[in-house]
């Protein structure tokens, strides 16, 4: 070698470099917190689970949709940020037995297998045979042939492998199925994207000796919904055909007459200042969730497609390809939160005739949220009382009925 020439850089694998960049970014953003999760995400070759995607796409911090039927995304590789957040919530250790519901590409199962090691065991279930067949190929190609793949409805768990130290869903549920709890080991942890009053929350629950599940962490998330026996009804009402919809916070509370709501959408009226600026995250899991918990009649109002471009959508908050806001129905209309894209505080806008009560109630709830320090999903403490464990509420407790359990929802810290 000519000493005058600089040494040639070592030959590197572009996928390995992209993976290292992904993990660095996830660490910087605080999504990856532990060395073990960083080690697993640095080791598992995500691109082998997405053979149809470019290396760039495979390592971008985005979900990659892998199966679409009739315009609906049925499967995806979850966003790396979310994968990291959930792995941190799971707190895996060598030797643990894990059940994953929602095998998808198999990527998360490989990460779990890496973290529980050869002395652990991973079973992953998907409802679609073609997804399971593809995931099996990916897992073998990536060097994780011992992951057990099952085609079936994960609503039922997978009794043959129970008990599990961890049961994790990577698909959204509106219920805490008794099967998942029954298949947990004593002190086991159930982690799932759970729909609570219209927000999807990634909740890690620890099973207590008293049969109750207590959350150890709560994060915001957005997952594809469970199909099959645990699918549940989708509480969304279309307001006409141009992309307006209303989602009631409490699925037990019917949407007020959709035609009347639609007429009110087209009749924006007086506005009152609020004095707070809202982020997209506030609309769903900050103020939005606070309002939905305090006032079950709360609606999320969403404008998609052409509706998002219409004058009535001006002032709604831009969220993932749509515009959305929170609304409180009144007698002949509703009051909604709006703000300008350019900046400035939010306002309460009356549509139709919501009546003074709705305006005063919305304003009062917003004031309490601000006084409480603008709490978010991460500030929540959830206790689940499965069927057979009766909740004994104190005055003022917020109880949310799921299909098979009652949730006690509290905010941590000094909430006014």
Ligand X SMILES: C[S@@+](CC[C@H](N)C(=O)[O-])C[C@H]1O[C@@H](n2cnc3c(N)ncnc32)[C@H](O)[C@@H]1O
Kindly state the smallest distance separating residue 403's Cβ from ligand X, in Å: 14
Which of 75, 173, 199, 215 is catalytic? The answer is: 75
Whether 42 is catalytic? no
The 3-state secondary structure of 180-203, one letter per residue = HHHCEEEEEEEEEEEEECCEEEEE
Which of 171, 221, 239, 327 touches ligand X (CB under 6 A)? 171
C-alpha atoms less than 13 angstroms from C-alpha of 348 in its C-beta half-sphere? 25
Let me know: does 152 contact 129? Beta carbons within 8 Å: no
Kindly state the smallest distance separating residue 147's Cβ from ligand X, in Å: 11
Residue 325 lies near ligand X (rule: CB under 6 A): no
Burial 125-150 (b: 16+ CB within 10 A, else e): bbbbeebbebbbebbeebebeebebb
Show contacts with ligand X in window 86-115 (CB under 6 A).
Answer: 101-102, 104-105, 107-108
How does DSSP classify residue 327?
E
Let me know: does 99 contact 157? Beta carbons within 8 Å: yes
Show contacts with ligand X in window 62-91 (CB under 6 A).
Answer: 74-78
Measured from the CB atom, the residue of 166 and 323 that comes closer to ligand X is 166
Segment lying near ligand X (by CB under 6 A), choices 2-10, 124-132, 258-266, 396-404: 124-132
Kindly state the smallest distance separating residue 102's Cβ from ligand X, in Å: 3
Which of 27, 93, 128, 161 touches ligand X (CB under 6 A)? 128
Segment lying near ligand X (by CB under 6 A), choices 127-135, 180-188, 202-210, 244-252: 127-135
* Residue among 159, 143, 154 nearest 100 (CA): 154
Give the Cα separation of 101 and 112 in Å (integer): 13
Show contacts with ligand X in window 217-236 (CB under 6 A).
Answer: 223-224, 226-228, 230
C-alpha atoms less than 13 angstroms from C-alpha of 234 in its C-beta half-sphere? 10
Length of the chain: 416
Question: Could you list the active site residues?
Answer: 75
Binding residues (CB under 6 A) for ligand X: these are: 74-78, 101-102, 104-105, 107-108, 125-128, 131, 153-155, 170-171, 223-224, 226-228, 230
């Amino acid at each position: 070698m000519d000493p005058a020439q600089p040494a040639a850089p070592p030959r590197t694998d572009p996928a390995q470099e992209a993976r290292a960049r992904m993990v660095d970014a996830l660490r910087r953003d605080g999504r990856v917190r532990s060395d073990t999760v960083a080690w697993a995400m640095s080791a598992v070759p995500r691109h082998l689970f997405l053979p149809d995607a470019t290396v760039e796409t495979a390592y971008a911090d985005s979900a990659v949709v892998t199966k679409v039927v009739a315009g609906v995304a049925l499967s995806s590789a979850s966003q790396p940020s979310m994968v990291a957040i959930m792995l941190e919530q799971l707190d895996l250790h060598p030797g643990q037995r894990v059940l994953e519901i929602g095998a998808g590409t198999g990527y998360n199962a490989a990460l779990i297998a890496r973290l529980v090691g050869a002395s652990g065991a991973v079973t992953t279930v998907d409802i679609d045979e073609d997804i399971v067949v593809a995931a099996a190929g990916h897992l073998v190609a990536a060097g994780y042939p011992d992951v057990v793949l099952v085609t079936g409805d994960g609503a039922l768990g997978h009794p043959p492998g129970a008990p599990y130290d961890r049961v994790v869903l990577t698909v959204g549920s509106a219920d805490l199925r008794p099967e998942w709890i029954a298949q947990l080991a004593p002190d086991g942890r159930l982690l799932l994207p759970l729909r609570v009053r219209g927000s999807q929350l990634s909740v890690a629950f620890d099973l207590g000796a008293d049969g109750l599940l207590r959350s150890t962490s709560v994060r915001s998330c957005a997952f594809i919904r469970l199909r099959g026996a645990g699918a549940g009804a989708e509480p969304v009402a279309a307001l006409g055909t141009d992309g307006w919809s209303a989602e009631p916070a409490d699925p037990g509370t019917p949407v007020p007459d959709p035609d009347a709501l639609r007429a009110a959408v087209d009749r924006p009226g007086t506005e009152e200042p609020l004095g707070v600026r809202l982020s997209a995250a506030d609309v769903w899991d900050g103020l939005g969730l606070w309002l939905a918990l305090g006032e079950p009649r709360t609606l999320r109002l969403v404008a998609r497609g052409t509706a998002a471009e219409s004058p009535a959508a001006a002032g709604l908050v831009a969220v993932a390809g749509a515009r959305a806001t929170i609304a409180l129905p009144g007698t002949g209309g509703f009051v909604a939160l709006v703000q300008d894209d350019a900046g400035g505080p939010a306002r309460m806008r009356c549509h139709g005739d919501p009546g003074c009560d709705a305006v005063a109630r919305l304003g009062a709830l917003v004031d309490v949220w601000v006084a409480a320090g603008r709490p978010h999903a991460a500030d929540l403490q959830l206790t689940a009382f499965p069927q057979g464990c009766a909740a004994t509420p104190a005055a003022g407790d917020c109880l949310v009925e799921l299909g098979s359990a009652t949730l006690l929802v509290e905010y941590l810290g000094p909430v006014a």
